[in-house]
Each structure stands twice: as structure tokens, then as C-alpha cells.
Amino acid sequence: MHRMTSTQRDLARTFRALHHGRDLLVLPNAWDAGSARLVEQCGAAAIATSSAAMSWAHGVPDGEHLEVDVLVSTVREIVRAVRIPVSVDVERGYGNVPELIDAVIDAGAIGINLEDGSDAPDVLARKIDAAREVAARRGVELFVNARTDVYLRGLVPSDHAVDEVIRRGTAYVAAGCDGLFVPRLVDAAHIAAIAAAARAPLNVLAMPERAPMSELHALGVRRVSVGTGLAQAALATVRRATTELLGHRTSAMFAERIPVPELNALFAR
């Protein structure tokens, strides 16, 4: 069993503090050691993983299709590649929350994202409680970000969505979560209402149709993540470049690239 290090404990405290500082916490989502190292180089204070992006990188769809051992080994590689806090998207817990949380802590993670999907709120509440028990036993201040899919899955009619998020969020905070993540929450009035009622820092997704980040902060949002955005942009670049290469027999798109010496230096430490 991996022993908690003082560095990991310090990273956990740092990550928690980032949710309560003066500035909005912006979390780019990585999927492997390379993307994580680039995110760190660009100045990110912390990194979150994307379950979908990590799954795609291993040739499988999102939705707990990635083998747990692969997930954990990838997290370990990411943690080794960077010196900033790493939070892990563990989806719905893969059917064994205590075992999975123990494994990702062992890999060096200091936070998790755990979602409810279409389950009743008491299901996620029990998972949060289980995660808290593991974290306490391991001696790490694990940041548990509870994701509710009320908007993403349309779990209730739109005119009841705010109340449902608040109801679920209250239950999740009571169970021990540290943050509330609401993907597909885009309406400014809804954001403000949920942020005001939430008893934990509110996390939303950065989306083109959403208000600027400065406005989100003013509405009460404490954390913004990009989900699959970076991975989608990277894969779009691969497809576009390959289409140009095969269809037009041109390599002009390679003019905008990171030089090999720079990449080698980036990963040399």
C-alpha cells in the first residue's frame, strides 16, 4: 500500500484552498501525461481529468468502458508528470467506490469527480459517504466534487431544474461532498440561484454559448472546467490535418507545431 506523502497532503490542501480564493478556479481537463504536462506548462494551478477524453485515448467510449486498471495507471502517469494537484473523474464509481477511491489516492490523486447520472440522490450520497471514509482512513483531505446531471440528462422539467439541483446538492453536501458540479447549466439566472443556495463551491463547464468566465465568477461560480473540450479540439486538429494530408497532399498544416526540442525538454524533468 502506498503511503501518503507530505507532498500529496500539501497538494490536497492547496487544491481545496483554490476553491475558496479570490480568483475563479479554471481547470483544464487532461487525459494523459503529455496533455497534463502541457496544461501545467501553460500555467494551470491544478488539473482535472476527463473520463471521456481518457477513454477515447484508449480507444473506448465514455461510460465506464475503460478498465479500472488502465484508469488508475493513467492517473499515476499524470501525477508523475506534473507538480500540481490532480483531480480524477471516476464517473459513477465503477461499482465499487471504496476500492476505486483507494486506488486513485494510491496513484497520487487529491480530488475526485463523482456523478449521479439518472440515479436517485441517495445513491450518490452513499457513494460520497464511502469516499469520505476511505479518504479519512488514508489521511488525505480528498476533494469530492459531486456532479449532478439534472440539466445534462433533463431529469426534471426545466422549470423545476433549479429546485432539483438545490435539493440534490443539499443532500450531497450533507453526505460530505466539497463541491457541486452541474454540467449543461448555462442560464445566468439559474446559475446565480444555484450558486446562492449551494452550500459548496459551484462548478460549471466552459462552453461557447455560456457567459464569459468573468461573468460566471460574478454570478457566484467558483470553479470552471472544460470537460472534453481540450480533447475534442485536439482530435479535431488530428482529423483536419490528416484530411488535408490525404485529400490535398499537403503538409502545410504542420507549420504550426511545437518543435521537437521543446517537447523533449518539456518531458525531460
pLDDT digit string (tens) for 53-89? 999 999 999 999 999 999 999 999 999 999 999 999 9
Mean pLDDT, residues 128-138: 98
Band of pLDDT at residue 115, cut at 50, 70 and 90:
very high
Contact assessment for residue 161 and residue 130, using Cβ atoms and an 8 Å cutoff: no
Structure confidence at residue 208 (pLDDT)? 80
Residue with cell 490536497: 12
**In the predicted structure, residue 190 carries a pLDDT above the cut 90:** yes
Structure confidence at residue 210 (pLDDT)? 77
Classify domain 6-228 at the CATH superfamily level. Phosphoenolpyruvate-binding domains (3.20.20.60)
Structure confidence at residue 207 (pLDDT)? 85
Structure confidence at residue 140 (pLDDT)? 96
Cell numbers linked to 207: 462552453
Band of pLDDT at residue 1, cut at 50, 70 and 90:
very low
pTM for the whole structure: 0.95
Mean pLDDT, residues 27-49: 99
Contact assessment for residue 211 and residue 203, using Cβ atoms and an 8 Å cutoff: no
Q: Where are the domains of the chain?
A: 6-228
Residue 146 backbone zone (phi > 0: left; psi -120 to 50: alpha; other: beta): beta
Mean pLDDT, residues 12-21: 98
Rounded Cα distance between 145 and 112, Å, is 6
